[in-house]
Amino acid sequence: MPSSSPSSSVNGFIGLSPRRRVQPWARAHRRGNNIVIVGAQWGDEGKGKIIDVLSAGADILVRYQGGHNAGHTVIADGAEFIFHIIPSGLLHRGKVGLIGNGVVIDPKALLEELGRLKARGIEVKRAVKISDQAHVIFPYHQQLDALEEATREGRIGTTGRGIGPCYVDKAARSGIRIADLCNPQAFAERLRTVVEEKNRLLKALYQAPPINYDALRRQYTAYGRQLAPYVVNSVQFLQEAMAQGKRLLFEGAQGTLLDIDHGTYPYVTSSNSTAGGACVGSGAPPTAIDHVIGVVKAYTTRVGEGPLPTEFPDDLMHRIRTKGKEFGATTGRPRRCGWFDAVVGRHAVWVNGCDAVAVTKLDVLDDMLEIQICIAYRDGRRLLKSVPSDTTVLARCRPVYETLPGWRQDTGRAGKVADLPAAARRYLQRIEALLGVPVCLISTGSTREQAFKVGRW
C-alpha cells in the first residue's frame, strides 16, 4: 500500500493540519487538572466533604452516575447540606455543576434539591446543568424497586429510590430521557408505550393496580417544563469548557464495592461508580482524566445487605456508630461498621487507578486503645490477598488482622501531618504501604476546616 503519511508531525497530528488549524478541543486534554473522586469502600466515605474541599480548585463539577440514592454531606459555615443528585461542590460561588448522562434523575427530588440550594442563595439557573441524555426515574420504578425487594430471595437492602429498575429500563431500551421529557409530543407517545408495558408487568407479576397514564403524563410534562432551562448537550458543554481551560472535578457516588461490575455483586447498586464511569457517564473522553483520588474512611461502613468481612462485634459497633454518627444521609438507616479493610482498599486502588487516597473520619478512632487493619482474608486453609469475585466466598472469609496502637488524643484540631500523634501517623503510613499509594488529604472532623492536604497535593 503506498504511504501518504508525512514523516514529521505537528502537535501530534500527521501533518495535514497546520498548527494554527488544530481545533481547540485537541489541545484541551493536555492541561493535567481534571480529577475524579471516587468512594473506595461501600459508600458514605465522606466524598461530599472531600469534594467540597477540593472544589475550590475546580471550575466544573460533574456527577456521573447513580441518583438520589446518594447522600453527600457538606458542612459549611455551621450549616449542613446534603446533596443527592446535584454535585457537592456547589456551595462555593461561581462553580458550575453538571449532572451527567450516566445519572438517573427523579425530577421531583431534583426540583426539591434545586429549591434548597436556591434558599442558600445559590443562583441555580446559572450554576446547574443537566445532560439531555440522563434517564428519568418514574414512580413505577420506585414501585418496582419496592416490589422486587419484597419478593426477592435474599434482599439487597436498596434505598427504594427506583435506581435499579430505571437502569434496567435504560439497558432494555425502554427508558425515557430528559430530552424526551422536554419534548411533550414525543414524550406523550413514548410514555404511552412504556406505561402499557409496565401495566402488563405489574398485573401479571404482582397483581398491582395499573398506572394512570394521563395523570403521569401531565405531572411529568410539567417537570419537563421546569427542568428545561437547565438542560444542555453535555458532550458539547464539556468540550467547550475544556477548550476554555476549565478544570473538571468528577464526583462518583456510592463506592467501588457497590459498583455493578467491580463490587460485591449482587449486593451492589446498578451503575459504574468506579472511575471508568466518569467517562461513560459524562461524555468526557478517557484522555481527559488526569488524576483519580479514592476516598476511604479510617474504618469501614456499609448500609444494606451483603458481606462486610471486618464487621465489628456489637459493643464496638455501637461505640463507633455513635461516635461517627453512622446513620444513612439518605435513608437514615444505621450503617454497619468494621475495621479498615486494606484488601478492599487495594482493590479500589487497582480498579480506579487511584493516584492517592483521602482518609476521612480519623477522629472517630481517637479514643481507641488498639486499632486493627485487615491485611488478608482466610478462607479455610487458603489465604486470600484480593477480594474474591464469588460473594459467597467473601461472606465466609475471616479477616486476618494486624494490630496497631491507638493514639488516645484528640485529632480534631490538627492542621498538618506534624500535628497528628505519632501513632496516628503510623496508622496512616501503614494504610499507604498496604494500598501502595500516598495519602493526599486527611479529614479529622465533619467541618470544612477540619481537613488538610499532605505533600504536593
Question: Where in the sequence numbering do the catalytic residues fall?
Answer: 44, 72
Residue nearest to ligand IMO (CB): 304
169 binds Mg ion (CB under 5 A): no
39 binds ligand GDP (CB under 6 A): yes
Neighbours of 406 (CB within 10 A): 17
69 binds ligand IMO (CB under 6 A): yes
Instruction: Rank residues 29 and 63 by Cβ distance to ligand IMO and give the closer one.
Output: 63
Longest alpha-carbon distance in the chain: 76
Residue type at position 185: Q
Q: Which of 37, 41, 44, 95 binds Mg ion (CB under 5 A)?
A: 44
Measured between alpha carbons, how far is residue 330 from residues 100, 347, 348, 349, 386 in Å?
20, 26, 24, 26, 30
| Calpha distance 67→330 (Å, rounded) | 11
Q: Which of 46, 281, 304, 445 binds ligand IMO (CB under 6 A)?
A: 304
3-class secondary structure, 378: strand
Give ∠ CA 241-243-244 in degrees, rounded to 5: 65
444 binds ligand GDP (CB under 6 A): yes
158 binds ligand IMO (CB under 6 A): yes
From residue 71 to residue 90, what is the string marking binding to ligand GDP with x (rule CB under 6 A)?
A: xxx-x---------------
Q: Which of 46, 87, 277, 309 binds ligand GDP (CB under 6 A)?
A: 46
Q: Which of 28, 40, 44, 361 binds ligand IMO (CB under 6 A)?
A: 44
47 binds ligand GDP (CB under 6 A): yes
User: Residues 34, 289: contact at Cβ < 8 Å?
Assistant: yes
| Calpha distance 25→53 (Å, rounded) | 28
Q: Which of 34, 48, 269, 273 binds ligand GDP (CB under 6 A)?
A: 48
Q: Which does 163 bind (CB under 5 to 8 A by kind): ligand IMO, ligand GDP, Mg ion, none?
A: ligand IMO
3-class secondary structure, 365: helix
In this chain, which stretch among 104-112, 153-161, 206-214, 434-442 interacts with ligand IMO, using CB under 6 A?
A: 153-161
Copy the grid coordinates of residue 243.
477548550
Neighbours of 266 (CB within 10 A): 12
Q: What is the DSSP string of 186-222?
A: HHHHHHHHHHHHHHHHHHHHH-PPPP-HHHHHHHHHH
Give residues in contact with ligand IMO (CB under 6 A): 39, 43-44, 69-72, 156-159, 161, 163-164, 253-255, 258, 269-270, 303-304, 329
Give residues in contact with Mg ion (CB under 5 A): 44, 71, 329
Give residues in contact with ligand GDP (CB under 6 A): 39, 43-49, 71-73, 75, 325, 329, 360-361, 363-364, 443-446
